[in-house]
Amino acid sequence: MTAKYYCKSSIVRVALLLLALTACITGLAPLFSSSARADTTAAHIRWDIITIVPGPFAQPGGIASALANDGSQITITGSGTFVAPAGGDGTSSAATGGGTWAVFASAGDITPSANGTYRITGLVRWDEKGTFPQEVNAVGGLAVLRVEFSDGDHGVLTVSCHAASGSDPAIFEGITMSKSFVDYWNREAPVGGVDANRTLFHRLD
């Protein structure tokens, strides 16, 4: 075999290999694109801090609390909606809602040291997990939301709901919230007979 023939043969083999690789990538492209579309399908979600009322279903209008590292407490009300998944920068004009907030020096205090309102300014993350078979479109999960307070502070609200069916033991029920440099990270768990610290999500689509 001459060097000239060997060179031509090598070039042909490389060309055929490139053509096969291009065809393979082209064939797989629709699979990847359809997978990406499936992963980015939007979901319209409502969140509520709920109150337990007589009847089969919970209603918006409850309260929930969390504690900071020094024992101070934040107590909030709240409801709103968002469209998931979040955009790359974590903000969305489709995120709405808010509520009231009050900060107490300790969990046993009656008079707040500060209070006001807050509004939701964007969705950071949403993960759905579990359902409530007795309530249509009710789901569990975890929502992380950007917050602006009436006194000018900013923070993050985490709403977590442990569903009745298909949840996970690691999912807590309640809220945590940061306000400026203070993180109220220690959620107060719901207690039987006490109408507080319960949340719920509903799919609206």
- C-alpha dihedral (35, 40, 45, 47), degrees to nearest 10: 110
Under the banding of pLDDT at 50, 70 and 90, the label for residue 90 is low
Average pLDDT over residues 96-117: 96
Q: Which residue has the higher pLDDT, 60 or 16?
A: 60
User: What pLDDT is recorded for position 49?
Assistant: 98
The pTM score is 0.78
Contacts of 115 (CB under 8 A, 6+ apart): 100, 101, 102, 103
User: What pLDDT is recorded for position 157?
Assistant: 98
Please, what is the average pLDDT of the chain?
Answer: 83
pLDDT (tens digit per residue) in 143-200: 999 999 999 999 999 999 999 999 999 999 999 999 999 999 999 999 999 999 999 9
Pairing state between β 199-203 and 59-60: unpaired
